[in-house]
A and B are shown apart, each in its own frame.
Chain A
Amino acid sequence: MTSTTATRPAAAAPVPADLRRSALPLRRRLTDGFSKSLMGLALLIALIPLGLVIYHVTSRGMAVLDWDFLIEDIPNSARRAGGGMGPAIAGTLLITGAAAAMAIPLGVLGSIYLNEYGKQNALARLIRTMSDVMTGVPSVVMGLFIYVSYVLVVKEQSGFAAALALGCLMLPVIIRSSEEMLKLVPDELRQASAALGARRWKTTVSVVLPAAISGIVSGVMLAIARAAGETAPVVLVAGTTFVANWTLAGDNTTLAAQIFKNAGEPFPAAQDRAWGAALTLMVIVLVFTVAARLISSRFAIKER
């Protein structure tokens, strides 16, 4: 052992390859450095707009945001200063909440079908592909769909119609993210439960779901965050209101819809309200996004 290590340097001695970086031809070194700096530049190009958006929304939004802004009614003339976004905040919470209440049970049950029953059979594969496709359906199309199939039937624009549209947008997202989480639950847990004599539904409800619940919750919260910022369906089917409507029936409005409406106005008062609404919406979205991250990192199933 010692003798071989001792003799090796002697054998390799004649041509000591120069492996230092400076020994590379200049052209290769330059290409390497150039490509690396391009990658860094790409990151900068993406982060600068993010920083600017956050900066502008915060600085312009803070100028108008106060307690009154959060609770007061929306002025019914866009050029009038003052007023607030109270009705839009009420609408955002109500409509997003109702959408979540519809989409979460359906989505989680659907993902249970995909992962616990269907697995790789033809129907499950079809549903999987179709929910991927449904994720890509533009939100404006979902709004038109609810208009045609619900608003035209009951002949009334309402917060409920908007909730239906947002629910349809959330459903495929929840199905796919929950399925990923169910996939991470080790099979041993299911087998142990089955060995104790539990029925399949009992196993799923009392063993598999609790094991995956943190991941499912975090996926759901991301879906809620995205739905809260959706604008087009609300503009198409919810109508609009200037006073808070805490019911799902009748015209309603959301922060996103109000930003859209006020952003296009030439009046500074309207634009100020749009910035204030944007800051409020960003805070709501951020709270859900950060909570989702915390939950998923704190209680994650260890990936195998």
Chain B
Amino acid sequence: MTVVDKSAQLTRKDRGRHADRLFWALCVSAGFAVLVILALILITMVKQAYPAFSAEFFTSSTWIPNDPDGDGPGKPVYGTLAFLYGTLVVSTIAVVVAVPVSIGIALFLTELAPRRIRSAIVTLIDLLAAVPSVVFGLWGILVVAPAVVPVYQWLHDVLGGVPVLGSLFGEPRSSGRTFMTAGLILAIMIVPIITSIAREVFATVPDSDKQAAWALGATRWEMIKGAVLPHSFGGVVGAVILGLGRAMGETIAVALVIGSSVQITANLFESGYALPAIIVDQWGESTGEFTAALIGMGVVLFVITVLVNLVARFVVRRAEIRMRGASA
């Protein structure tokens, strides 16, 4: 009986109860902050950008935000197609270059590298991720862009006559600030992201699968091809999509090296523009409807990156579930 009495005393409401509720409420509201911020981003920005949205905004590639010399059309034109095109081209180049490199590094780290040097390499790759994007931009505009022009010229001379490649590798811009340069700089920046996810995915391949391949007399490459790659395909696709999302939103490095000219051209060695780049470039000189148009492009960018990220998470999660099922 006395024991029951004491437990009753212990569980009686006391000083701690209110603190408990308060702490819980604090934590929940902190968690809610994420949802609130995301919702606010969408609502406030759409509200502000609403005047700029028109059919023209999405279908025209003419960008005449202000008309200083007065010989253009009577009113400003805000067509964003050229920027959308630039973003797509640049992030495609980045992904095409970065994916094989990242997968190679991830395989090297998980399957090939001796344990001793593994952590050193991981540190180096993390270091690559730690370099601020503006520093890559600075390096890109002052070191890379002038240096790559002869390479572009050579590629143009060699491949210029080939039907499809010829239009991709056209006459290079002499400043070197081009779609290709921006894509290559972006590729360097997304390699660490894709590598780290691919590494996690490769690490989940069950040892039994690998040992089975070894036991059948497979070489290391045959083991990777037969056991590691098929098992991790879904996860790697997710990693690639995440890298794509990061590449599309990357602003400063691209703004510096893409060359800032509004045009749609198949020539990868020409200057162009990208959605985030034009926002920071022309922000200072914008007012009124011009600002609304820039914010409108921010909304477009937000929606695209959110969708890309959701798809990537979905793909990765599905792959994870499948893998867990396979290893259990």
Contact = CB atoms under 8 A, between A and B. Distances in A.
Contact of A175 (B23, B34, B301, B309): B34
A235 B280 contact: yes
B135 A259 contact: yes
B139 A271 contact: no
Nearest to A230: B132
Interface in A255-304: 256, 259-260, 263-264, 271, 274-275, 278, 281-282, 285-286, 289, 293
Interface string A190-205: 0000000101111011
A138 B306 CA distance: 9
A80 interface: no
Nearest to B277: A140
B158 interface: no
Give the residue among A138, A171, A172 with the most B Cβ atoms within 10 A: A138
Interface in B7-37: 10, 16-17, 19-20, 22-24, 26-28, 30-35, 37
A260 B134 contact: yes
B308 A57 contact: no
Contacts of A47: 124, 128
A42 interface: yes
A107 B132 contact: no
Contact of A148 (B24, B48, B137, B301): B48
A274 B23 CA distance: 46
Given A28-B222, A53-B135, A286-B130, A118 B108 contact: no
Interface residues on chain B, size class: 35 or more
Interface string A137-160: 111111011011100100000000
B306 A140 contact: no
Given A32-B222, A42-B104, A289 B135 contact: no
Given A50-B127, A109-B27, A236-B280, A144 B309 contact: no
Interface residues on chain A, size class: 35 or more
B234 interface: no
A281 B132 contact: yes
A267 B249 CA distance: 29
B45 interface: yes
A79 interface: no
Nearest to A149: B44
Interface in B274-288: 276, 279-280, 283
A225 B130 contact: yes
Given A46-B125, A132-B309, A141-B301, A231 B28 contact: no
A45 B34 CA distance: 37
Main secondary structure of the interface of B (DSSP, over half): helix
A52 B139 contact: yes
B143 A136 contact: no
A184 interface: no
A122 B260 CA distance: 45
Interface in B33-65: 33-35, 37-38, 40-41, 44-45, 47-48
A129 B127 CA distance: 27
The binding surface of chain A is classed by DSSP as helix
Interface stretch (B74-82, B166-174, B203-211, B250-258): B250-258
Indicate the member of B31, B100, B279, B280 with the most A CB atoms within 10 Å.
B31
Interface string A8-50: 0000000000000000100011011011101111110111011
A56 B251 contact: no
B16 A202 contact: yes
A112 interface: yes
Interface in B144-192: 188, 191
B302 to A, nearest CB: 5
Contact of A39 (B35, B47, B108): B108
A123 to B, nearest CB: 7
A232 interface: yes
A136 B295 contact: no
B84 interface: no
A53 B136 contact: yes
Contact of A110 (B31, B101, B191, B256): B31
Contacts, number: 270
A117 B27 contact: yes
A259 B249 contact: no
Contact of A133 (B112, B276, B313): B313
A228 interface: yes
Contact of B188 (A49, A124, A142, A225): A49
A127 B221 contact: no
A131 B306 CA distance: 11
Interface in B104-129: 104-105, 107-108, 112, 121, 123-128
A110 B102 CA distance: 32
Nearest to A32: B219
Nearest to B245: A136
Contact of B135 (A106, A136, A271, A282): A282
Interface in A90-127: 105-110, 112-114, 116-118, 123-124, 126-127
A123 B31 contact: yes
B239 interface: no
Given A32-B219, A43-B104, A109-B27, A289 B280 contact: no
A110 B27 contact: yes
B310 interface: yes
Instruction: List the 9 shortest-distance A-B pairs measured between CB atoms, nearest first.
Output: A229-B132, A42-B104, A138-B249, A109-B30, A201-B23, A113-B27, A136-B309, A199-B16, A110-B30
28 contacts: A38-B104, A39-B104, A42-B102, A45-B101, A57-B138, A57-B139, A109-B27, A110-B31, A113-B27, A113-B28, A130-B34, A133-B310, A134-B37, A136-B246, A148-B47, A199-B19, A200-B23, A201-B23, A204-B23, A226-B130, A229-B132, A232-B251, A236-B279, A263-B137, A263-B256, A274-B142, A275-B138, A282-B131
